[in-house]
């Protein structure tokens, strides 16, 4: 490491100066997320570091906000709702999206130029417009303020991610494998589950994760569609920020950061597996 040995003094100072600037930008990116973690262990109901916390006094730290989550039926209910909605929306989105991606990747797919933009439109349309439209639609068929309504809405929002990731995985897919399977007498379903799916599984999982995080993090549609009973975690946080702000939100936020770290690691492992399988890197 370090600047090349032939660099002059101006180049040297630029070399280090540039790294300092980038370091500051990295701090800008990561510091807000890191700051909330210690603050969630605050013993006082404040959003800032108390003197005790700065001197690392164990008295200044506590788990009271985490206990608050467990003791609060509203939070528990919203966690349950988020998981239910996320699970079913992901399941539906991954199934529909993968099947569609298989069709889209076939060489003979007709009208692809028209269909593709339609399928990814839920990702393009600003959420507030989607939310307003869905509010009218689900009210008219009696599905507003129900969990199935939110599940269907989140499925629609999640499918573009599955379509995009699975289509990308299918680029360069060796169709002679499925032909070999078919010529050996396997019916299409068996070919899919035994040959195609193991190969595109990384794409399916990362698409599914995208769909899950879309649902898990989505608040605009929930604001319009959900009643009090259907509040999800982001909806509960929204209420927390707008109405009664308490460090419980920071405890929830910390848990969500932990969840996204797990997610990040999962995706990275999937990416490596995918590269290994396709022989991109030995």
**Of the candidates 35, 60, 79, 195, which one interacts with another protein according to CB under 8 A?**
35
Residue 277's contacts (CB-CB under 8 Å, 6 or more residues apart) are 199, 202
Q: Which is nearer to another protein, 37 or 84 (CB)?
A: 37
**Of the candidates 116, 182, 186, 199, which one interacts with another protein according to CB under 8 A?**
116
- Rounded to whole angstroms, the Cα distance separating 249 from 253 reads 6
**Binding of residue 221 to another protein (CB under 8 A):** no
* Sole window of 56-64, 68-76, 150-158, 173-181 interacting with another protein (rule: CB under 8 A): 150-158
**Of the candidates 18, 175, 193, 228, which one interacts with another protein according to CB under 8 A?**
18
Give, in order, the Cα–Cα distances in Å from 24 to each of 7, 31, 261, 277. Answer: 24, 10, 22, 38
Nearest to 163 by CA among 215, 75, 97: 97
**Binding of residue 47 to another protein (CB under 8 A):** yes
* Sole window of 59-67, 73-81, 131-139, 174-182 interacting with another protein (rule: CB under 8 A): 131-139
Per-residue binding string, another protein, 246-265, x by CB under 8 A, is ---xx--x--xx--xx-xx-
Residues 227-246 that bind another protein (CB under 8 A): 234, 237-238, 241-242, 245
Residues 54-113 that bind another protein (CB under 8 A): 96-97, 99-100, 102-104, 106-111
Determine the length of the chain: 282
H or E element that contains 71: helix 64-71
Contact 69, 171 (CB under 8 A): no
Q: Which is nearer to another protein, 43 or 122 (CB)?
A: 122
- Rounded to whole angstroms, the Cα distance separating 224 from 195 reads 42
């Amino acid at each position: 490491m370090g600047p090349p040995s032939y660099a002059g003094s101006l180049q040297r100072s630029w070399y280090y100066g540039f790294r300092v600037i980038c370091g500051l930008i990295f701090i800008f990116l990561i510091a807000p997320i890191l700051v909330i973690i210690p603050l969630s262990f605050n013993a006082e109901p404040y959003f800032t570091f108390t003197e005790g916390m700065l001197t690392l006094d164990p008295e200044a730290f506590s788990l009271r906000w985490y206990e608050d989550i467990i003791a609060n039926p509203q939070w528990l209910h919203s966690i349950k709702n988020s998981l239910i909605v996320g699970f079913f929306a992901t399941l539906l989105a991954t199934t529909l999206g993968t099947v569609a991606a298989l069709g889209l990747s076939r060489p003979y797919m007709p009208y692809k130029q028209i269909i593709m933009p339609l399928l990814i439109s839920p990702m393009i349309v600003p959420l507030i417009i989607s939310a307003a439209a869905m509010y009218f639609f689900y009210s008219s068929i009696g599905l507003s303020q129900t969990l199935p309504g939110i599940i269907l809405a989140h499925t629609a929002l999640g499918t573009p991610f599955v379509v995009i990731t699975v289509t990308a995985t299918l680029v360069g897919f060796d169709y002679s494998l499925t032909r070999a399977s078919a010529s050996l007498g396997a019916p299409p379903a068996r070919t899919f589950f035994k040959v195609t799916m193991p190969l595109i599984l990384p794409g399916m999982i990362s698409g599914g994760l995208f769909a899950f995080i879309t649902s898990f993090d989505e608040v605009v549609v929930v604001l319009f569609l959900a009643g009090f009973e259907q509040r999800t975690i982001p909806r509960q946080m929204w209420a927390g920020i707008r109405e009664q702000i308490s460090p419980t939100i920071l405890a929830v936020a910390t848990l969500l950061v932990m969840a996204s770290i797990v997610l990040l690691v999962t995706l990275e492992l999937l990416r490596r597996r995918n590269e290994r399988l396709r022989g991109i890197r030995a």
